[in-house]
Amino acid sequence: MAGSEYITSMRAMIGHELLLVPTVSVLPWDENGRLLLARSALSGEWMTIGGMVEPDEAPQEAAIREAREEAGVELALCGI
């Protein structure tokens, strides 16, 4: 999996210093009260859906994008 160009450019500037980046995590529930989780391709463990907020997007946009990328689902956000 390719890393973010933003993170790559920041790492080139600061090396291995601590880098704090905003992230999102979504907990999609269906109408029957079931929670959607994703299974990691690397470890096989169950995990929540989420990831990094890109510099040009709002957290809400990142949540919708990550759900589409990681689980192939379209979300309608509520409770934010």
**Is 5 a domain residue?**
no
Note the pLDDT of residue 50.
Answer: 95
Q: Which domain holds residue 25?
A: 20-71
Helix then strand then coil, % of the chain, to nearest 5: 30, 20, 55
pLDDT, tens only, 25-65: 999 998 899 999 999 889 999 999 999 999 999 999 999 99
* Number of domains making up the chain: 1
Note the pLDDT of residue 80.
Answer: 64
Taking the C-alpha atoms of residue 52 and residue 69, their distance in angstroms, rounded to an integer, is 12
Contacts of 16 (CB under 8 A, 6+ apart): none
Q: What angle do CA 56, 80, 68 make, to 5 degrees?
A: 55
Note the pLDDT of residue 42.
Answer: 92
**Is 61 a domain residue?**
yes
**Is 15 a domain residue?**
no
pLDDT beyond 50 at 1:
no
Note the pLDDT of residue 18.
Answer: 93
Taking the C-alpha atoms of residue 58 and residue 34, their distance in angstroms, rounded to an integer, is 27
Note the pLDDT of residue 2.
Answer: 52
